[in-house]
Structure 1
């Protein structure tokens, strides 16, 4: 782990100026218009990715998911912020109630979190990301939430909190992700190698008027890489995408909607070619249903891979029918 060097007073001056502008003098609540309230809390389905590495460093539980997302566990974040146990879940309940009701007080801690997280595009229902792991749900607090906690407990509370201040300095100096990567000795894989290694999978091309999954996924993978999101066989398994899309096609009776798919590719694991009329549906499904099981929604929105204006529609979609997962 990087050495923690002392920081001069200028750092504290800058940090305090930064958080001062988030304080409010009015005791009134902020009530959002009805249409805005409906779309405010987006549904974040549990991520179907595993934990790449997780350890306790300096008493703080931290880790990296297979999609490259660095995180602290709720217990690790409470330790880093010098906060009482269950603080993360208590604050998350307050956050969820405010998001669902569309009403945020102009005073108190939830006001600080609302302004901090909104400025960074975080509109999830919880202050943690749920992860499916071997049939059980685990919780990971992403970088934006962790820095909000550390800043609040370091500078916004009346109680002197040297532990929160020290950890805020450490994470802020190195950057949250880089701090966690270095602390855990984690080196992300080469993202371009994933794409290059899979060019050979495409044996032959689809006939005119049809598309194959691999070609479409390759184009979106380039967008993911350019957005600095980690792409590997663990996050975007080509055969897994084909299987999930094939299941979605069958369950939705798309043969009757777009016309029959055909067998046109020699690789038996990527056998189907689909009518071009279904391209828009495939791209919608891949971005809004498949990718959201691999990356948190705020990361995809920040990378401009999801349109935040579609939040209401997508949230309703997830609520009604969930995610089609490949069978075991």
Structure 2
């Protein structure tokens, strides 16, 4: 049991909070080559690698499934190798029987996906549950206590929802417009600072992008650039940076009509001399992100229920060791790629 009262997956190294979920499809995709699948999102938490395929199928990688079951990675590989043998082994027969009772069939235990220059062995969530149940209750002397504990936590559709949550994937598709509110603010403010000055909102684009990609609902209740601006302003005054770079000045910042802040538009906000832009970016990386202020901000958001713990974990992982790019640089900071 974690400090906040939520149950946890039974692993010695790292724990993952388990969430409730909705039930999923009864179909499991075929192997790569029949369907041109790719990996939509993937991440790794301790021993558990997981992700979502381009058709929405949640999966664990081979090491992740082995860790949940409390067995060696080779045992899971053997299940894949023996899946379609004519002389069906008792273990395979038992796992397929469990799968059939849940209303699923699969031509292979895993799906092979070429991603990031490597082959990934992706075990769909329903296959994982069948294997997990086997090692929990049906493997005789080879039953594993870790498998039993994890199956009790992840039975039904909880594993599917846990994977979606951890990698920041929305199966409902409601986040297809996840960038809209941020784009509304950009459209109103991208040229609002006077010539020779920059403002924090435009410079916070990398942080905001990573939060959105991790699953945060960036909108009227989640304005991370306010936090960044307040800390940078204090750092500016505490270190008398105006003596080195020149005086800062106020500029009008506007919020979209969808934000309650729009009622008091325009908002006066600080902008800073362009000569200080390099110092700001170093401060953002070294002090705000890696110095713990960003983490504290996200912890408060988690505590208040504004974001899921996985969103905070993913955003921090993506930014903690990245290099903050300027506003003309396209693309995102690349996160770790795990098979």
Structure possessing the higher relative contact order (Cα contacts under 8 Å, 6 or more residues apart):
1
Normalising by structure 1, report the TM-score: 0.40
The structure whose Rg is larger is 2
Normalising by structure 2, report the TM-score: 0.39
Which structure has more helix as a fraction of its residues? Answer: 1
